[in-house]
Structure 1
Amino acid sequence: MSHPFLALEGVSHQLADGRILFEDLHERFDARPTALVGRNGVGKSVLAGILAGTIAPTRGRCLRSGRVHFLPQQASPAPGATVAGLAGVHEPLAALRRIEAGSSDPEDFALVGERWDLRARLEAALHAQGLQGLDPDTPATRLSGGEAMRVALAGAWLSDADFLVLDEPGNHLDRGARLRLLQQLRQWPRGLLVVSHDRALLREMARVVELVPTGLRSHGGGFAEYLEQRKLADDAARRELEHARAARARQRREAALQLEREQRRQARGERRRSEANQAAILLDRQQQRSERSAARRALVRGQLAAQADQRVREAAARITDAAPVAMSAPLPAAAAQRRVAVLDAVLPPYPPGMAPLSLVILGTQRIGVVGDNGSGKSTLLRILAGKVAPAQGQCRVHGSVALLDQDLAALPARATALQALRQAAPGVGEGVLRTRLALLGLDAARIATPAAALSGGERLKAALACVLYAAHPPQLLLLDEPDNHLDLASKEALEQVLREYPGALAVVSHDEDFLGRLGLDTRLEAGAGAWEARPW
């Protein structure tokens, strides 16, 4: 199809709990490679599902030209699924086998269509994903998260769809797989919509559409133009917010003065009433008129106050940037040249075949740990944190260590951010704790919400607060893919916090853009059978 499109016509969606996620969306997505961006929790994945036809909107409709192939954020295979099933070609492959065995069933021929070379195409697609030799009948449960995503991507390229809708396709992919993804996206010839926070991927898109609480914003041009337009819009929105707050303050002052004048008039009226010789019925009528007038003025004041509050809320909603983040964690006791950790010919228990690693980590050293999936990066952090014993060699740590793993297991799911920080920093006043959480971008409502109900970025900020403001802050901070699932604003906030962290730091990530913004000085890379440390 030469002109594929997806179109939203008055689309609204309400969640099961009654919350309206978005409403009355109108937008058209054409053949241009387009990114869909927005804050975590704003509804991007739901909107992607509506566009792909896997989710029905509460109101409105979505028009689609041709066939749409949808790749959800999590490549979750069904029970009993195989590699072929995860790639979406199990049925046509099975039909092809039956035809080769002598079947003349018209349904088998319909399933295969013109794809008589499907087996070879699947093999080539898996090879292109770095999965050469993977059998189509292999149970999908044997695959890692990264392998499952690569199989699902192979199915997307095989789909011959008129429109691809990909939700966070870079999740769980290592650097090599991400580079392959970028190359394949450049070569895709038809409609393409990608939900992502990966800046390298976003730079490949010709257009950016942003989902915000007030609706959809379409930005002409690519990612650089989007960032420029977003900054201009946010600057204007902040000025508008300042004007709205100033107008609300004036309205409140005027209302207070008006109320004060009315109370003085009422007091004078009460005195005259007590001193007057008029008939009681006349005095009562005067008082009733005065009370009705006061009630009308109070109603007007209330309406003006409500309008002023609404203008402030609307102006605040138009700001898409995260709240400014600041950190004032105390400097760890380790001096710059003090050794906080020493790895002496350490051989991790996983993966097999790696050469021993010897490494000295100094008090303010900043290390980016990179390498393919399965190369042992997470295991290395767990050895440094004392959670896994090396198969060989010694790991000596000369100071406190904190590990934030991918699941943020250190943050109790039922505890609020305030409760968790209070436990980490006993004896510190609640006002100070609230201020520290606010400096990390967590407002009063979020710090009172159980961690399990927070977004990924909010949970990460809460976990960081518990580590950085603990009674005994770590001298070595270990972070395992902290940027996973973070929206752009949260990722920028995390980068700012980590740049300001004054102790030793080791961060695992596949996002070179993210690592490049942390002020790292050492690159520790897991290569073919060995680790290599070199200047960043």
Structure 2
Amino acid sequence: MLNLQDITYMHPNREMLFSGITFTINKKDKIALTGNNGAGKFTLLQLMAYKASPSAGTIRTSALPYYVPQLTNYYNSFSTAQVLGIEEKIKALRKITAGNGDLNDYVILDDDWSIEERFKDAFAYWKLDEVSPEQVMETLSGGQKTKVFLAGIQIHQPEIILLDEPSNHLDSESRKLLYEYILNSKSTIVVVSHDRTLLNLLPVVCELNAKGITTYGGNYEFYVQQKQIESNALSQDLQNKEKELRKARETERQSVERQNKLDARGKKKQEKAGLPTIAMKTLKNKAEKSTSKLKGVHFEKIESISNSLSQLRSEIPDGDQIKLDLDDSALHKGRELITANAINFSYGPGNLWKIPIGFQINSGERIAVKGKNGKGKTTLIKMILGKLQPNSGFISLLNGTAIYIDQDYSLINDSLNIYEQAQQYNTKLLQEHEVKLRLNRFLFSREDWDKSCRSLSGGEKMRLILCCLTIGNQAPDLIILDEPTNNLDLQNIGILTSALKEYKGTLLVISHDDYFLNEINITQDIIL
């Protein structure tokens, strides 16, 4: 069991991240923890893992949780056995079995005679057969590093497992192993992930938001449906409140006009009656007070409705406000863009692909480049862009414009601030206020314009790139994306998905996220 009671967390600068978080995860529960960027999912997972301390509140667990981190570069200088906390046990076991162990070695081993066997079995399950306990993490790929931590689950067999973006950097085969393990596991599991296929395996979704934790008793698809129902209800409430405001303003106008007519009619009668000046002034003051009181009543009602309307508008998800409005590609649909004939490449002895590759890409097509890690997907993209030449065969280069969005978002210049970056794409010489209006549409407010691009998250950089495309306005003929969902939260994946659905040009995507590929209507594959 995992219990959080009235948890508050403040950053070192005393800025509040969240407060009053209270919820319980029972034994064998499997939940997805979702929430927008900045909501505090990473921090909450760190608190559950006892890797950080809350500013207030208590956390109780029935056992020490096992934590699989998203960011693994911190462990580069450690061996795999050190990372998993089993180095001393393996050393002790080897000394004992070699006949030169002492009493201290038996104490360290603590009767865990199967530790090395479990290491081998777990690493074999995750296709890490060639990786030894002594191998340094720095020598492994991003996907292999993640799998080392995943293998630790089978080695330690923990009661509680906390997973932070566990499918990041995993190829399709490794993702299937992860899905299978989570389905069959009897442990209590909490997952933070943007992998919708993985989230659909979990029977409960808990959303971290400004109000605390909201629990949805169903998988991710159910969660999306409920959010849509909430969104529809919010839209209806907005329409009703806007209608109520218009009606209140019209009622105010009619009432004031009616009162003014009555006042004017009364004044004429008073003038005909020849009332003294002092009596006229008294009646005039009464009329003005009556009109003022009437306006006050209407003002209070209108202000109340306006405040309610502002509150409702503030609850609209930010992503729903973003639209990618690009001109169409200048190339007509079906025109041949790129042709590859029996191409291959080599970084040393031997070719990258056993069988040379051939394909044709036509304007308007949506194509996924698939293959296991290390099979040359990024190399192929570099050849398509003309940055590498094949060692054999022939590839024609694109006769048009292309945008390549890599995993590091290299299109963004980290030495610039957000506004300066946007101006780099202002080829149509939009006015300053127009550029800033586009930035606002992509959720970069006045407070963000001077912020350094270096400080932006992956999701923010992706949004800024999409914004820059709208500032340039003319759509590229080809957009190439390399693992675009790896560093994005669910909100920014939704923004990217909507943008790509609107895009009318040619799309080439490297991704292991089949859910994402299906959503952006990929129709063809190049399989390496």
The two structures have a TM-score, normalised by structure 2, of 0.84
Distance in 2, Cα, partners of 1:359 & 1:395: 9
Distance in 1, Cα, partners of 2:516 & 2:64: 35
The residue identity in structure 2 corresponding to 1:53 is Y
User: What 5-or-longer segments of structure 2 have no aligned partner?
Assistant: 259-275, 279-284
Deviation at 1:97, TM superposition (A): 3.1
Give the 3 Å change call, closer, same or farther, for CA 493–426 of structure 1 in structure 2: same
Distance in 1, Cα, partners of 2:96 & 2:257: 91
1:72 and 2:74 matched: no
Q: What's 1:389 paired with?
A: 389
1:456 and 2:452 matched: no
Q: Deviations over 1:444-470 (max 9, x none)?
A: 447625333444223212213334653
Q: What's 2:487 paired with?
A: 485
The residue identity in structure 1 corresponding to 2:101 is G
Which has the larger displacement, 483-492 or 241-250? 241-250
RMSD over aligned Cα atoms: 3.8
Deviation at 1:138, TM superposition (A): 0.8
Deviation at 1:137, TM superposition (A): 0.4
Give the 3 Å change call, closer, same or farther, for CA 324–189 of structure 1 in structure 2: same
Residue 405 of structure 1 contacts residue 481 of structure 1 at CA under 8 Å; is this kept in 2? yes
Distance in 2, Cα, partners of 1:86 & 1:428: 53
The residue identity in structure 1 corresponding to 2:377 is K
Q: What's 1:154 paired with?
A: 151
The 5 A counterparts of 1:278-289 are: none
The 5 A counterparts of 1:37-436 are: 37-78=34-75, 80-100=77-97, 101-105=100-104, 108-243=105-240, 305=303, 311-312=308-309, 314-316=311-313, 318-320=315-317, 322-350=319-347, 352-354=351-353, 355-397=355-397, 398-430=399-431, 432-434=434-436, 436=438
Distance in 1, Cα, partners of 2:515 & 2:181: 20
The residue identity in structure 2 corresponding to 1:495 is T
User: The residue matched to 1:523 in structure 2 has which SS?
Assistant: strand
Q: Deviations over 1:468-512 (max 9, x none)?
A: 653654222111111112222322221221122122211010000
Residue 350 of structure 1 contacts residue 379 of structure 1 at CA under 8 Å; is this kept in 2? no
Residue 77 of structure 1 contacts residue 140 of structure 1 at CA under 8 Å; is this kept in 2? no
Residue 11 of structure 1 contacts residue 26 of structure 1 at CA under 8 Å; is this kept in 2? yes
Deviation at 1:128, TM superposition (A): 0.5
User: What 5-or-longer segments of structure 1 have no aligned partner?
Assistant: 262-274, 278-285, 527-536
Residue 80 of structure 2 contacts residue 134 of structure 2 at CA under 8 Å; is this kept in 1? yes
Residue 118 of structure 2 contacts residue 154 of structure 2 at CA under 8 Å; is this kept in 1? no
Deviation at 1:115, TM superposition (A): 2.1
Which has the larger displacement, 345-354 or 330-339? 345-354
The 5 A counterparts of 1:513-532 are: 513-526=515-528
Distance in 1, Cα, partners of 2:318 & 2:207: 12
Distance in 1, Cα, partners of 2:144 & 2:420: 38
User: The residue matched to 1:184 in structure 2 has which SS?
Assistant: helix
Give the 3 Å change call, closer, same or farther, for CA 357–79 of structure 1 in structure 2: closer
- Give me the identity figure in percent: 27
Distance in 1, Cα, partners of 2:159 & 2:299: 57
Give the 3 Å change call, closer, same or farther, for CA 198–386 of structure 1 in structure 2: same
Q: Deviations over 1:198-257 (max 9, x none)?
A: 111111112111111221101113233222222222222333445556667788899999
Distance in 2, Cα, partners of 1:386 & 1:519: 26
Q: Deviations over 1:320-361 (max 9, x none)?
A: 572144333222222223222222332234594413322221
The two structures have a TM-score, normalised by structure 1, of 0.82
Residue 211 of structure 1 contacts residue 217 of structure 1 at CA under 8 Å; is this kept in 2? yes
User: The residue matched to 1:12 in structure 2 has which SS?
Assistant: strand
Residue 212 of structure 1 contacts residue 320 of structure 1 at CA under 8 Å; is this kept in 2? no
Deviation at 1:143, TM superposition (A): 0.6
1:497 and 2:493 matched: no
How many residues align? The count is 506
User: The residue matched to 1:138 in structure 2 has which SS?
Assistant: coil
Give the 3 Å change call, closer, same or farther, for CA 442–136 of structure 1 in structure 2: same
Residue 27 (structure 1) aligned to one of 12, 23, 26: 23
Q: What's 2:443 paired with?
A: 442
Distance in 2, Cα, partners of 1:367 & 1:453: 32
